[in-house]
Structure 1
Amino acid sequence: MKTKLIAILKQVFPASYPELAIFLFFLICYGILGSYIAFHYRIIFDSRIPWDAYFSFDNKAIVMTGGSFERHPLAYYFFNWVREFSLWVSGGKMDVIFRLTLAWLSNLAISLCMVQIFKYLRNIIRLPLQISILIILFFGLFSTSIILSFTPENFTYTLLLLSIYNYYAAVKLKKEEKIPGSALALAGITVGGLTITNLVKVFIPVLFEKDFFRSWKKFGNAAFRVMLTTACFVFLYLLRIDFKYENIFSKTNQQYEKFSNVESIPDWDMMLSYFFGGSILFPSFMTTDKHNMKGFNFKGLLMEPYSSSFCYAFVIVLLTLILWSYFKNFKNKLVQVLAVSFAVDIVIHCIMRFGLHTSYIYGGHFVFVYPLLLGWLFYSYRSKPKMLSFLTVTMGILFVFLLTNNLYRMSDFFMFLEKYYQ
């Protein structure tokens, strides 16, 4: 038991000096950003604003209830802990200290996520330190990483949990070991409990376990673990809603209709500007008039489609690198796990069009795939210096553009805060 606990702590937290350096770097950088916002502005948590203050995040609603039960079935329990801990720190007041605590919990989650991605790059892909640092800094500048570092939301903790689980599963698959039923159940309850559509991602690595399709015994064992996880999840889900299962179908249908029928922007533009691009490279912003349905009016901030050809070029180049990595490493089961996981979100948001018009907020479900596939691309050319140099230069150019663009757009974000949320 002690050995397993130590192993878990070593996986989740920094276990080497480079990992500790990565963790402290992001903790400090994100901490400064989140602390400044918490001290000077009320946007992180304002009791009058339940949703949509910026980029359609539901800060107050999530902190108070965990979100709607049909999409976030077990988040209620998790955010009860988050809220009560923050209230304990603030002495029971929803003031600046309360906001600061929420921001630092988000900061801790995203900084630990950076550690997980760095561990994967170093321990699974076995990339050199310099390339791993370049990729993790690139990932740290994603719009999703920046925004979630101070935002108390389901996406924040989902990104961490998915990163932890994917690293854990990669370790098991690389050793040709099966994922224990207890670990699978824990991942299903936590990951699926925060966002139900992510439950299927927990099962994806099981499909790539050794001899899964060649041995009836191993297939049956895997099926049992999946059914056990599903049964645990369903039981806790039904317990959460007092076994009134009919509410699930009616609410789910309402949510799908609400978030899937927006025709204001062409689908291809929403895919590039919001789903593939907005979660990485900030576009320009627009303000909207909002109200809390109780007589209080406020301003919200949304992302616009890209207006610059350079932004479209950035997204296309990045997607080209990702597809290049996938086809170059097609026979690699760890790459297939990442690709299938990403495909789940592509189907939900791009094909089924659920929330496509605001799909940049769903980045916490899939952005971790980008740095890992980039890492596998570097790995596939590890013995070809010229190609490594080309990839490094390309990444350097993308990094500089991402840094410049996202810093500039964050200045727009602060102008919005100065005007409406002091």
Structure 2
Amino acid sequence: MSSIKTKFIHFLKLVFPSTYTELAIFLFFMICYGILGSYIALHYRIIFDNRIPWDAYFSFDNKSILMTGGSFERHPLSYYFFNWVREFSLFISGGKMDASFRLTLAWLSNIIITLNIVQVFKYVKNIICLPLWLNLLIILFFGAFSTNIILSFTPENFTYTLFLLSLYNHYAAIKLKKEEKIPATALSLAGTAIGGLTITNFVKVFIPLLFEKGLFRNWKKFGNAVLRVTVSMICFVLLYLNRIDFKYQTIFSKTNQQYEKFSNVKSMPTWDMILSFFFGGNILFPGFIMSDKHNMKGFNFKGLYMDLYSSVFPYFFVILLLILIIWSYCKNFKNKWVQVIAISFFIDIAIHCVMRFGLHTSYIYGGHFVFVYPLLLGWLFFAYRSSPKIMSLLTLTVVVLFTYLLATNIFRMTEFFWFMEHYYK
């Protein structure tokens, strides 16, 4: 019993703030995101409107996700999770889908995204071991990302996926640092939770196993890893098949339909979508465009989408940030923690940039990988911790990027409020 109690306490310390600094960060972002989300929930109906199932803003499917969990071929187990979210929100609102319902949804998202910020801080503090002032700079930079801002009030799969991925990467990094293996139970839980919300993230759960000490030099360790992966996959597959009443043929037909639907957009240059949407839109807001939408039941509404960047400055921002990330990867190429992060990122690059799945709206997929940026920036600072001149240059660069990011995203959010004021009052 004492062992279970100890593990539970360790779990709580892993997930939630465990120091005064972490608590201060948690409260700071809770207040910032909370004010934003609360105002939107109380004054506008954009977070949840029974008449609008999808695409009210940036292609998020708030109502559809809350009511059904999303399509089973992409989000196989989210149906169960969002049943809890919906029922809890209805309990708080007294069974009404009103402002109180929207406020509850916004605060659930706020808490989860703030915990995601805390996880990234824990990683740079405990794994990379950077000075506090540098940790705070990286966290402030990360906290101003457009993905975090939008997801802080958006009830969507991406909101919870971002937190789970950052949490799991921190947990796996701790295990690698202690040279311990990730237990089969933890793998199964992570695979079910992360893969259940978005199936393409399922494989990411197993990446840290590749870097366990002596894995490829000891057949017993290798066999144990294969066994843990097998147990995790069996648990996930059985739950997935049970969700669809074991009608596995529908998985392939639906998946093919989704791929065809979201991979054949030719209205924009591919290179521009990659820079403006995949690498840029989930960090730095571009301009917005409106579109006339309908719910296929006679109700017309306005949808808001991100546009391609329209000036040289955003492109310069994105390219400079990518240079820092690539520099970090090259400099830390032999670092197993960096490889875990990078391989996870490469999976998303392959899906969206190479296979072009959802490339025209890839800014919404930032919840699958934006935590990679602050972590790789942290490792870049770590690599030059003994070089004051380069450290100063890197710090100045991040400060300039942060200043531009914050100013631009605040300005774009004023445009978002104009949109809500006119169409979602």
TM-score range, shorter chain: over 0.9
Task: Work out the CA distance in 1 between the residues paired with 2:314 and 2:415.
Answer: 17
1:37-66 Cα distance to aligned partner (Å, 9 max, x none): 000000000000000000000000001111
Query: Which residues of 2 match residues 238-253 of structure 1 at below 5 A?
Result: 238-253=241-256
* 1:190 alignment partner in structure 2: 193
For residues 52 and 214 of structure 1, what CA distance do their matches in structure 2 show?
50
Give the corresponding residue for 1:349: 352
For 2:218 and 2:149, the matched residues in 1 are separated by 45
1:142 deviates by 0.3
Q: CA deviation at 1:403?
A: 0.6
Structure 2 distance, partners of 1:323, 1:280, is 17
Q: Cα RMSD between the aligned structures?
A: 0.4
Gaps of 5+ in 2: none
Task: Find the partner of 1:73 among 50, 64, 76.
Answer: 76
**TM-fit CA distance, 1:213:** 1.1
Deviation at 1:192, TM superposition (A): 0.2
Q: 2:25 is matched with which residue?
A: 22
Q: AA paired with 1:257?
A: E
Paired amino acid for 2:138: I
Per the TM alignment, residue 153 of structure 1 is displaced from its structure 2 partner at its CA by 0.1
Q: What is residue 310 of structure 1 aligned with on the other side?
A: 313
Q: Who is 1:255 aligned against? A: 258
The separation in 1 between residues aligned to 2:291 and 2:356, in whole angstroms, is 22
- Report how far residue 158 of structure 1 moved: 0.1
Tell me, in whole angstroms, the C-alpha distance in 1 between the residues paired with 2:204 and 2:211: 12
* Aligned residue in 2 for 1:293: 296
The residue that corresponds to 1:169 in the other structure is 172
C-alpha distance in 1, partners of 2:260/2:420?
32
Residues in 1 aligned to 2:26 and 2:355: alpha-carbon distance in whole angstroms: 37
Name the SS of the counterpart of 2:281 in structure 1: coil
Give the match for residue 376 of structure 1: 379
**What SS class does the counterpart of residue 248 from structure 1 fall into?**
helix
For residues 91-132 of structure 1, the C-alpha deviation after alignment (integer angstroms, 9 at most, x for no partner) is 000000000000000000000000000000100000000000
Q: State how 1:8-407 maps to structure 2 within 5 Å.
A: 8-407=11-410
Structure 1: gaps spanning 5 or more residues: none
One-letter code aligned to 2:165: L
2:391 is aligned with 1:420: no
CA distance in 2, matches of 1:136, 1:214: 38
1:242 positional shift: 0.4
Looking at structure 1, the residues matched to 223 and 296 of structure 2 have their Cα atoms a distance apart, in angstroms, of: 52
TM-score (norm 1): 1.00
For 2:281 and 2:349, the matched residues in 1 are separated by: 14
TM-score, normalisation: structure 2: 0.99
Deviation track 1:15-49 (CA, whole Å, cap 9, x = no partner) reads 00110000000000000000000000000000000
TM superposition outliers: structure 1 runs of 4+ over 3 Å: none
Deviation at residue 311 of structure 1 after TM alignment: 0.2
Equivalent-residue separation in structure 2 for 1:308 and 1:391 (angstroms) = 25
C-alpha deviations, 1:224-260, integer Å up to 9, x for none?
1001100000000000000000110000000000000
